[in-house]
Amino acid sequence: MPGKHEFPVQLVQPDGRRVLDHEHAPLIADVGPEQVRALYEDMVVARRIDVEATALQRQGQLGLWAPMLGQEAAQVGSAHALHPDDYVFCSYRETAVAYCRGVPPTDLTRLWRGVAHHCWDPHAVNMTNPNIVVGSQGLHATGYAFAAHLDGAEIATIAYFGDGASSQGDLAEALGFAATWSAPVVFFCQNNQWAISAPVRVQSATPIARRAYGYGMPGRQVDGNDVLAVLAVTRQAIARARSGGGPSFIEALTYRMGPHTTADDPTRYRSAAETEQWARRDPIDRIRRLLEREGHWDDAFASRVAERSDAVARAVRGATTGLPDPAPSELFDHVYTTPHPLITEQRRAYAEYLAGDPGGSSARGEGVPR
């Protein structure tokens, strides 16, 4: 029950010192210096992609972008706990998770440029595309997990959502169903303290993870800016799900350092002091300090990571600006899987309109079913 887990799990302090935690440290006993470096590298590259995409939006190359700056440890740590056959159901902010799943970085911006309905092939990486309908992915993850269980597949699913989403009815339904049917799903809440301009205190009067016990599953708070702690608790939850132990809930305490999306101005609703306080808990600096303290940091490694980040960012920029605009008629292509008379007629009418027949039958509304 909750009492035992009142404090967020932490394995590395902001100054890079390890925390003595005999319950959770063994979960990452196999993670040696090379793996810590790999986690560091993934966080740095993911941040570089995110910063590049934000710049691309500011330069008019993307319609919108939802930055994940500050949430690298929550995303990279949890993604590294997943098996390739687990399935990820995400929101719109999981750029680092997508990167770790193997989504080509050059696929990450397509939807946000407004030239396609998707970014990547979900089945190639077992991860859904960005989902804007807040909280709905909890239901998708639960349904998929339960179906996999019925099929006898020993996999887990993970639903990534935010503190604001935890107030959605969809999440309540998903948690209740998952718990009573023992679905192999991990509910991963990135509590980044804000839901656009609404602070987390208006979402929950109790730590969000504690709500899990009311549904009948374990809930655990973790320092979401500590990549090793996130890896440990997510491994535990995934192992539990995959071995038939049922669902778990993780609340990763982190902070959205940037705006909600590029259409938002956070200075309107939160203080610079708050943001600065979280900057001191930066997830990437923390692992750099750990590597330095333990003698695994060197300049050659730092330059290699920086060069790789710049190369990936250049590739993202090149791919984004090179994306062709689709033909307007493609709008009608994937509405139904089979031809549909209404869509066929709308396509014809739109083509006529584009062909410059303003006084034609389409302008008069003839032939367009209503």
Is 260 designated active site? yes
Is 269 designated active site? yes
If binding is defined by CB under 6 A, does position 194 make contact with ligand TPP? Answer: yes
Closer to ligand TPP at the Cβ: 162 or 247?
162
Pair 74, 233: CB distance under 8 Å: no
Q: What is the H or E stretch that residue 220 is in?
A: strand 219-223
- Return residues touching Mg ion (CB under 5 A): 162-164, 192, 195
Closer to ligand TPP at the Cβ: 131 or 309?
131
Of the candidates 260, 281, 286, 289, which one interacts with ligand TPP according to CB under 6 A?
Answer: 260
Instruction: Give the β-pairing of 194-195 and 198-199.
Output: antiparallel
Rounded Cα distance between 292 and 103, Å, is 30
Closer to ligand TPP at the Cβ: 162 or 184?
162
Report the first-to-last Cα separation within the chain, whole angstroms: 57
Closer to ligand TPP at the Cβ: 163 or 223?
163
Closer to ligand TPP at the Cβ: 93 or 286?
93
Q: In angstroms, give the least distance from the CB of 134 to ligand TPP.
A: 4
Q: Sort 186 into a burial class: Cβ within 10 Å, 0-12 / 13-18 / 19+.
A: buried
The sign of the dihedral angle between the CA atoms of 144, 149, 153, 156 is positive
The catalytic position among 58, 117, 118, 269 is 269
Tokens of 192: 């980044």
Q: Count CB neighbours of 134 within 10 A.
A: 19
Sole window of 53-61, 119-127, 191-199, 216-224 interacting with ligand TPP (rule: CB under 6 A): 191-199
The catalytic position among 5, 220, 240, 260 is 260
- Specify the DSSP class assigned to residue 130: P
If binding is defined by CB under 6 A, does position 256 make contact with ligand TPP? Answer: yes
Q: In angstroms, give the least distance from the CB of 256 to ligand TPP.
A: 6
Q: In angstroms, give the least distance from the CB of 198 to ligand TPP.
A: 7
If binding is defined by CB under 6 A, does position 130 make contact with ligand TPP? Answer: no
Rounded Cα distance between 370 and 352, Å, is 18
Rounded Cα distance between 221 and 184, Å, is 19
* 57 binding partner (options ligand TPP, Mg ion, none; Cβ < 5 to 8 Å by kind): none
Pair 173, 139: CB distance under 8 Å: yes
* Contact residues for ligand TPP, defined by CB under 6 A: 91, 93, 132-134, 161-165, 192, 194-196, 256, 260
- Catalytic residue IDs: 256, 260, 269
